[in-house]
Structure formats: C-alpha cells, structure tokens
Structure 1
Amino acid sequence: MNRFFLVLVAFFSSFTLEAWSQKIHIVTRNIEPFSFEQNGRRVGYAMDLWQEVAREAGMDYDVQVVGTAQEMVDALTNRTADAAVGALSVTSKREEIMDFSQPFYESGLQIVTSGKTASIADTIFQLVGNLLNWKLVGAFTLLIVVMLVISHLVWLYEHKVNEEMWPKSYRHGLWESFWWTISTLLVGGADNKGPVGVGGRIIAIIWMLLSIVLVSLLTASFTTTLTVNTLKGDISGPGDLPGRDVATITGSTAANWLTNHGANPKPYATLTECLTALKRKEVAAVVYDAPLVQYAVSKDGDDKLQLVEPAFDRQNYAIGLQQDSPLRERINRALLALSESGANTDLQKKWFGTASE
C-alpha cells in the first residue's frame, strides 16, 4: 500500500513538473518600439520585458507573430496562444473574454495632424480670414456707427459757431467732422481742428475718453484673434474629430473610440500607412496609442506632422492571457519583482528615454 502511494505521488509529481516546465506559446505583432524584428531578433520594450518576466518565472517560450491586436486577442480566446505580448490595451470588452496581467505601461490616445509650409500668399489669406470673423466684423460695424453718431453731434453743435472748420453744408461738414472723429480715435486729435462751442467740447471730451477704452478693446481683440486663430490648427483636440475622416489601426481601441464619438475611422494595417494617408490629405488626422504615434512621428522626421497635446482616453498596456490562465499569478509576481528591482524603469528609459508616468 505504501509502495502504491509513493508511485502515485511520483507519477503526479512528474506530471506537474512537466506541465510546469512546458513551453509557453507567445503571440505578438510588429509594433515599434514594443515588438519588432531587428537583425533577425525579436526586440522592443515589451519583448525585452517579457524576456525578463520569463527568466524571473523560469518559463520557456516560443513566439508567433500575427498582424493585428485583434488577432492577438483571437489567439488567446481560441487557446492557440498562452500569452499576448506587445502594445495590448486593457479594456472592459476584452476583459470579458480574456485575462490580463497587471499593467506594465500607462498609455492613452493621441492625435496627429499635418501642417503645411505656407507661402506669403497663403499667410496673407490666412490673416485676412482670421480678421474677417463675425466678432471682429460686428465690432467694427458698431465702431463705425458710434463714430457717425459722434460726427453728427459735433457737426450739429459746431457748424453754428465754427463754420470755418465745420462747414454748414451737410456733406462737407459731416466729412470734416468724421475726419476729426477718426483722428481723435487713432492719434488723440486732429491738427488745427477742434470744437470751440460748449456743446461741441462736451461731446469731444466724451469721445476722447471713450476713444481710450475703444482703442484698448480693439487692440486686445486684434491680438487675441490673430494669436489664437494663427496658432490654433484645424484640429486642436478630440472635440474636433466628430464628422472627420481619421486614420487609425484596424481593430484597435482607437477605432472603437472614434466610432463611439462620431468620427469616421479609416482603418489601415500600420501606422506608416496612416501617416502616409495624412500627408496625402486622404484623412484629417491620425489617432492611435500615444507612445506609438510619438515614436512613429519622431522616426518619420517630417516636421509637418504635429502631435496634438495632451493624450486622452487614458489606458494601460498589459500582457494578455487566456481566461482563468494559471500563468497569471506567476507573471504578476515576476512583473512586481522587476518593478521593485527597477528593471522595468531601466527598460522604459532604454526605449523611450524616460519612464511612463
């Protein structure tokens, strides 16, 4: 009986050891700088981190490369892979059908737009367009009306006592009065011309004081309009995306976000294709994971590509696992150990120059 018990224990122990040490099947995709091929080796921040996790947890593994994040998720739900390593966002929808390790990188979505080098003519047209907005046009219209009222009042009082400077002829008199009004507004007065009557001087005092206020308001309005409209691009944040054609990656969380927020997502296989479509003006913007677009724009080197700050819809990257995976606890312990030792921070500095916040 004791011998049978010992044999049974030995059998299950060997089975457990074999299951514990079996090769882990990893699925990933080409997405710089998290996972990509370089000099015949699979490298990147996520792959380097996984190598450290596997070493810490004593796991052997092989790697399969697929095309999209959705294919990584499908490999886990179909149980053809044990873990998915790369830039895989943790979402509630994915959590329903699979498990995740603890997060190892904080991400979010970011917008890329394309500026252009403006010619002199384009700059002039832009300035004119900035000035011809309803607020400024309305302010100028109101100013002209006020100036005409002041001109009429000054002429009404002055032509009776100062016909030399304010002729009795309505057309000529009003023209002279308007010249004085606009000169007072712009330079504080008109040479060799000024009201001499009591009524005219009272109106002049009121207009001079009012001119100080109007000049200040007009200067502030001009400065604000030219500065804001010149610096503000066509798309300055997520609120400008609804109704626009926006490039993103097929099956990504960015594509879902764009659909849910009224934009028109145009799916592409890679970020390079997205940026090319943006340069060709086939789309109004590119939206994808912040660290990936930052890396892609930096690598592209086109100074016309502009990142719209800040990132939005904050998310986390984690290692994807099968539902109720027995690997989860081992991987989490390894990730915690790497975080405590500073290895994770060192890897972030290696690939991004700084650690994620």
Structure 2
Amino acid sequence: MHGSFRETSLLHSCLAPLLCLGLLLTGIGEANSQEPPQRELVVATKEAAPFSMKAPDGTWRGISVELWHRIAEQAKLRYRFVEEPTVQGLLQGTAAGRYDASVAALTITAERERMLDFSHPFYLSGLGIAVPSASPSAWTLIVRTLTSVGFVQAILALIGLTLAVGLLIWFLERRHNEDFGGGAIKGLGTSIWWSAEAMTQASTGYLAPRTGLGRALAVLWMVASIVAIAVFTASVTSTLTAGKLQGLVTTVGDLASARVGAVQGSSTEEYLISRRISYQRFPTPHDGLTAIRNGTLDAFVYDKPLLAWIVREQFSSSAAMLDVTFDQQMYGIALPLGSGLRKPIDVVMLDTIQGEWWRQTLFTYLGER
C-alpha cells in the first residue's frame, strides 16, 4: 500500500510541471491571437463620399479613410487599400477573410453583425430625404390633392352624412309629407336629394320638411353642413398653399403618398418595407437624384450625410435636403469574426473621436461642429 502511495505521488510530481507548461503555452497562444498581425493588412474600401473618395491619382481620402490612417499610425499597422465596387462585396470579402478590414460608410445592423465583427461606432446619423428644390406646378398639386387618401376620406364622410340625414328625413316625413312619400325608393331618393341640396345651400325651397322633428333636423343639418364645408374648403386650400410653398414632401409622414426612391440593396429598403412605403429602386444615389431633377420622383431616401454631400456637390440647383433625420444608424469599421484588430482599433478610435482632430475632420467634410 505504501508502494502504491509513492507511485501516485511520483506521477503527480511529473504531471504538475507538464500541466503548468500547457497552461502557460495556452495563455501565450490566446494572448498572441489577440495581437494585431505584423504583416501588411489588406483594407477594402469603395466610393462613398464624403466617407471614402478616390482621387485621380488613385489615393483615397474622406472621413473614414482619414480615421483609418490615424488608427493605423497610432496602432503601428502596415496596410494597403484595395477597391471594391459594392457594399455587398465589402461585407462578403471581409467575412470570408480576403480583407482584414473594410473602411467606407458601413452601417452596423443585426444582420451584418451575424457575419462580421464591427469596431466601436465612429459616427451616428440616420436616413435623410432629398426633394425637388423647385415648387411643383399648381395643376400637379391639384391632381395630387384630389387623388390623395385624405381627400377621398373627406368626400366619403360628407356623402355618408348626406345619406344618413336623407334617411332620417324620409323616416320622419314619409307619412306626413307627400313630397317624401310614394314608396321607399321614390321617398328615399327625394330625401337624399333634399339633404344634398341643404348641405350645398342650393335648395330652391320646393322641397321642405313639415313635421317639427323634421324641421329641427333640417336646421341642425344646414348649420352643421356650413361648418363641414367650410372646414373642408379650408383644409384643401391650406394643403394646396403648403404644397406650393414647401413641396409635396415636408415630413417623413408624407412619404406614404409620394413617389419615393431608394438605392437597391441599401439599409434604406429595410426601413421603407417595414413602413409599407412604396418606392422605386435605383442603382446609385446619383440615379435617384437625377430622377428628382427630371420630375419623375418626389423624394429620395438615403443615408443623410452621403445624400447631403451628393446634393451639395452635384445637384444643388435641382434638389434640397429636408431638415429631418430618422431611423438612427451607426457607422463602423467591418472586421472578420474574431479579428485581433478589434481591440487595438477600438482603443485608438475611442480616444480619437473624443478629441479636437475628429471635430475638425467632421467640420471639414460635413460642416459639423
């Protein structure tokens, strides 16, 4: 028994150093996996002014590009840029490991987080709306107003009130007034006709209720119809005036009744689909703004800073930005899952975006303080 005890002790004494060595190597391996690679990194980007823009000599500049330059300098990273034509190409290439990072105007979404890692957000914005800078024609406003959902609802409400009052008048007068008698069809037809005349103040006085209740209802209906017509007329007039002065789309709520455009494959589509807003798809923001200039679109929805830049640089005479921001979005640097770059990038980024250099960069490109 003493021999067995000695063998067990000897075995433990041999295994202990091996176990410690294994744990040490594992810790070193884990630590090294978190270190950024020392090789030259492949960083993908695409044209997305003002975040990433390619100069004629092939160099890149922009908000995201300058931020990456600063991060790489602080973290001592070697890298080279490669161009990818589409956002989908950036995301798929980074997820597959062909690119060590993607730097452009990439919004952080739940769907993208499933296939990628993202750095800490470096810019918070949202969607914006570009509209024609010129006021629509009077006839365009009239046609849009007459065919709008609100106008149709108002007309149906007035018709419904007219039918209801006509039915009540017939019920009260049919046995006491030959003008509203003579069978249900004839009596109801006459009552409804009288109700419509009373509402529009076009009655000739030929038809009139004779019972006390009928006359009380007639007086009440005449007064109520004057108010209803006045409110209806004022509403239509204010709509036409506002549309002439401000345009067809002034708020996010106006998108539901307007001709809306969006870039296909962008996060804007998710927002419009979730709100059940009909829209046309365009390959690029430039194509959508061209449609606004040609008068075939009432509003174009896209990432606000990108859209504002394109409007200012290329479409300032034909389009304008609404002073609204909605559906908040966060921009970040895309990385492969488990990338060791994430930690050093976040440390430098958080320090950078809180300083004066970052505020000056935003002011240079966006005019933001």
Cα distance in structure 2, aligned partners of 1:283 and 1:63: 37
Shift of 1:94: 0.8
Amino acid in the other structure paired with 1:30: E
Cα distance in structure 1, aligned partners of 2:329 and 2:362: 17
Hey, what does 1:273 align to over in structure 2?
287
Query: TM-score if structure 1 supplies the norm length?
Result: 0.65
Hey, what does 2:300 align to over in structure 1?
286
Among 346, 356, 362, the residue aligned to 1:332 = 346
Shift of 1:116: 5.2
Aligned residue pairs, count: 299
Cα distance in structure 1, aligned partners of 2:99 and 2:357: 26
Among 88, 91, 106, the residue aligned to 1:70 = 88
DSSP 3-state at the match of 1:31 = coil
Cα distance in structure 2, aligned partners of 1:313 and 1:98: 22
| 1:351 pairs with 2:351 | no
Hey, what does 1:190 align to over in structure 2?
none
Query: TM-score if structure 2 supplies the norm length?
Result: 0.63
DSSP 3-state at the match of 2:354 = helix
DSSP 3-state at the match of 2:305 = helix
Shift of 1:74: 1.3
Shift of 1:264: 4.7
Hey, what does 1:299 align to over in structure 2?
313
CA change 1:307–1:333 in 2 (3 A) is same
Shift of 1:81: 0.9
Would you say the 8 A contact 2:251–2:324 is kept in 1? no
Among 47, 69, 72, the residue aligned to 2:65 = 47
DSSP 3-state at the match of 2:325 = strand
| 1:26 pairs with 2:43 | yes
CA change 1:337–1:93 in 2 (3 A) is same
Pairing 1:1-357 to 2, within 5 Å after superposition: 20-40=37-57, 41-114=59-132, 117-119=135-137, 135=154, 221-229=232-240, 230-231=242-243, 233=248, 236-237=251-252, 240-241=255-256, 246-249=261-264, 251-262=265-276, 263-264=278-279, 266-268=281-283, 270-280=284-294, 285-355=299-369
DSSP 3-state at the match of 1:26 = strand
1:113-132 superposed Cα distances (whole Å, 9 cap, x missing partner)? 44655456656767888997
Cα distance in structure 1, aligned partners of 2:341 and 2:48: 24
Cα distance in structure 1, aligned partners of 2:282 and 2:139: 35
Cα distance in structure 1, aligned partners of 2:123 and 2:146: 46
Structure 1 range deviating more: 254-263 or 19-28: 254-263
DSSP 3-state at the match of 1:345 = helix
DSSP 3-state at the match of 1:340 = coil
1:146-189 superposed Cα distances (whole Å, 9 cap, x missing partner)? 9xx9xxxxxxxxxxxxxxxxxxxxxxxxxxxx9xxx8xxxxxxx
Structure 1 range deviating more: 255-264 or 70-79: 255-264
Would you say the 8 A contact 2:129–2:322 is kept in 1? yes
Q: CA RMSD in A?
A: 4.8
Would you say the 8 A contact 1:103–1:317 is kept in 2? yes
Structure 1 range deviating more: 32-41 or 114-123: 114-123
Would you say the 8 A contact 1:37–1:43 is kept in 2? yes
Shift of 1:141: 11
CA change 1:99–1:242 in 2 (3 A) is farther
Structure 1: tracts of 5 or more residues without a match: 1-11, 150-177, 183-202
Shift of 1:80: 1.2
Would you say the 8 A contact 1:247–1:283 is kept in 2? no
Cα distance in structure 1, aligned partners of 2:367 and 2:291: 28
Amino acid in the other structure paired with 1:66: E
Would you say the 8 A contact 1:255–1:265 is kept in 2? no
Cα distance in structure 2, aligned partners of 1:282 and 1:239: 16
Would you say the 8 A contact 1:259–1:265 is kept in 2? no
1:4-46 superposed Cα distances (whole Å, 9 cap, x missing partner)? xxxxxxxx9xx99x97432221110001111012352311111
Shift of 1:342: 2.6
CA change 1:132–1:24 in 2 (3 A) is closer
Shift of 1:280: 3.8
Cα distance in structure 1, aligned partners of 2:145 and 2:363: 43
Structure 1 range deviating more: 293-302 or 320-329: 293-302
Cα distance in structure 2, aligned partners of 1:81 and 1:242: 43
Hey, what does 1:186 align to over in structure 2?
none
CA change 1:71–1:124 in 2 (3 A) is closer
